[in-house]
Structure 1
Amino acid sequence: MTRPHTVRAHTLHAAGIELSALLALPHTTPPRSTILAIHGRGMRAAYWNSFIPLATAAGHAVLAVDRPGYGASAAHLPDGQTLAEQAETLHAALKEHARTHDTGAGFHLLGHSDGGKVALHTAATAGALPLLGLDTSGTGYQYDPQALHFPSTLGGGATKLNWGPLNLYPRGTFQASRTLLAPTPPREAAETIHWPRQFETLAPDVRIPVRLTFAEHEAWWHLDDTTLTAMTSRLTRAPSVTVDHLPAAGHNISLGHTADTYHQRALAFLDTCLTPATPAHRTPQHD
Structure 2
Amino acid sequence: METPNRSQPLSAGVRPLTLDAAGVTLSCLLAEPPDGQPRATLVAVHGGGMRAGYFDGQAHPDLSLLTLGAGLGFTVLALDRPGYGLSAERLPAGQTLAEQAEVLDALMDRFAQRYPTGAGFFLLAHSYGGKLALVTAAHSPRPLALDVSGCGYRYDIEPAELPRVLSRSSWGRNWGPLRLYPPDTFRSLGTLVAPMPVREADEVARWPGIFDDLAPRVRVPLRMTFAEHEAWWLHGERDIAEITARLATAPELRVEHQPDAGHNISLGWAARSYHLRALGFFEECLAALRARRGRPAADDRPVAASPSVTVPRV
Q: TM-score range by the shorter chain?
A: over 0.9
Residue among 144, 148, 153 paired with 1:132: 144
Contact between 1:26 and 1:57, CA under 8 Å: does it hold in 2? yes
Equivalent-residue separation in structure 2 for 1:66 and 1:99 (angstroms)? 20
Per-residue deviation, 1:148:
5.7
Q: Which residue does the alignment assign to 2:197?
A: 185
Per-residue deviation, 1:281:
2.1
The change in CA–CA distance for 1:148 and 1:164 in structure 2 (over 3 A counts) is: farther
Per-residue deviation, 1:146:
6.8
The change in CA–CA distance for 1:108 and 1:51 in structure 2 (over 3 A counts) is: same
Equivalent-residue separation in structure 1 for 2:175 and 2:162 (angstroms)? 15
Give the letter aligned to residue 48 of structure 1: F
Residue among 88, 96, 111 paired with 2:102: 88
Per-residue deviation, 1:237:
1.7
Q: Which residue does the alignment assign to 2:300?
A: none
Equivalent-residue separation in structure 1 for 2:216 and 2:126 (angstroms)? 21
Q: Which residue does the alignment assign to 1:74?
A: 88
Give the letter aligned to residue 193 of structure 1: A
Give the letter aligned to residue 285 of structure 1: V
Matches within 5 A, 1:18-167: 18-49=25-56, 50-127=64-141, 130-145=142-157, 149-150=161-162, 156-167=168-179
Equivalent-residue separation in structure 2 for 1:145 and 1:208 (angstroms)? 29
1:10 aligns with 2:24: no
1:284 aligns with 2:310: yes
The change in CA–CA distance for 1:154 and 1:229 in structure 2 (over 3 A counts) is: closer
Max Rg structure: 2
Deviation per CA, 1:130-167, whole angstroms, max 9, x where unpaired? 32110010001100037862368886140000001111
Per-residue deviation, 1:66:
0.1
Q: CA RMSD in A?
A: 1.8
Equivalent-residue separation in structure 2 for 1:126 and 1:146 (angstroms)? 32
Contact between 1:147 and 1:220, CA under 8 Å: does it hold in 2? no
TM-score normalized with structure 1 length: 0.93
Deviation per CA, 1:95-123, whole angstroms, max 9, x where unpaired? 11111111110010000000100111111
The change in CA–CA distance for 1:102 and 1:153 in structure 2 (over 3 A counts) is: farther
Contact between 1:30 and 1:102, CA under 8 Å: does it hold in 2? yes
Query: Which structure 1 residue ranges, 5 or more long, are not aligned?
Result: none
Equivalent-residue separation in structure 2 for 1:133 and 1:73 (angstroms)? 27
Q: Which runs of 4+ in 1 moved over 4 A?
A: 151-155
Give the letter aligned to residue 119 of structure 1: A
Equivalent-residue separation in structure 1 for 2:164 and 2:148 (angstroms)? 21
The share of aligned pairs that are identical, in percent, is 51
Give the letter aligned to residue 115 of structure 1: G
